[in-house]
Chains A and B, each alone.
Chain A
């Protein structure tokens, strides 16, 4: 199946939305965990998901809001 540009942009926005939600979840979990090691791991996961989400939003429409 061949994907055109509009489909790719839609997929990118969906992925960015999921990753943004994951960032929120990782952040809240990092606040809740008692040990420093778990906090470090969750913070690393937060940074990775946030950077990818930001890159996807930027690529999809140069703006985190959908066009």
Chain B
């Protein structure tokens, strides 16, 4: 268990470091630390602490290493979204989707790899239809959000089943469109990736609480 916690902490630090690299070097994001205001620096410190602790907690709950790696990749996407409502380069998200599928396939066999592919495909199509439905009603789905949903599907498909992933993404998407409808004059971009990441982190914790130990479900 100590090894899993250390892996979670290491992945959290690596994901935060990679996020800072994206935020400093990507010309679209433009958020080097030196240019941040005091509240923005507070958000950055909190992001480092919360995401590292969350991955450490997943490690403590005995989440398998390949799933911790997938969560680490999702952490980068969620972190850039949290700080500036923008996502890292599309090639990072596409590569992450492929990596999550390969991780699932290599760690637990062909069937699990196929499940991850199916989950990200279903999340893609459900996300597109939610975006089409929400468009014109609420300006909440940004370019790149569909890729975020694909990444969430690829991670969640290897977590606790495809139906859970698709149901989760449908609920998240509908709630976001409804919030956008209610606050359409004030909200221009929702932190979708951050919300998706919170759902993914909560999944093993919920399973742990429901079943008194998630080792049998997530190992």
Contacts and interface: CB of A to CB of B under 8 A. Distances in A.
Q: At the interface, is chain A mostly helix, strand, loop or mixed? A: helix
B206 interface: no
Contacts of B132: 17, 64-66
A36 B111 contact: yes
B146 A30 contact: no
Interface residues of A, number: 25
B130 to A, nearest CB: 10
Interface residues of B, number: 23
B121 interface: yes
A24 B125 contact: yes
B117 interface: yes
Contacts of A40: 110, 114
Given A43-B114, A65-B135, A20 B143 contact: no
Interface in B117-143: 117-118, 121-122, 124-129, 131-132, 134-135, 141-143
Interface of B: 110-111, 114, 117-118, 121-122, 124-129, 131-132, 134-135, 141-143, 146, 162-163
Nearest first, the 9 A-B pairs at minimum CB distance are A24-B125, A63-B143, A65-B135, A27-B122, A46-B121, A23-B125, A64-B146, A27-B121, A20-B128
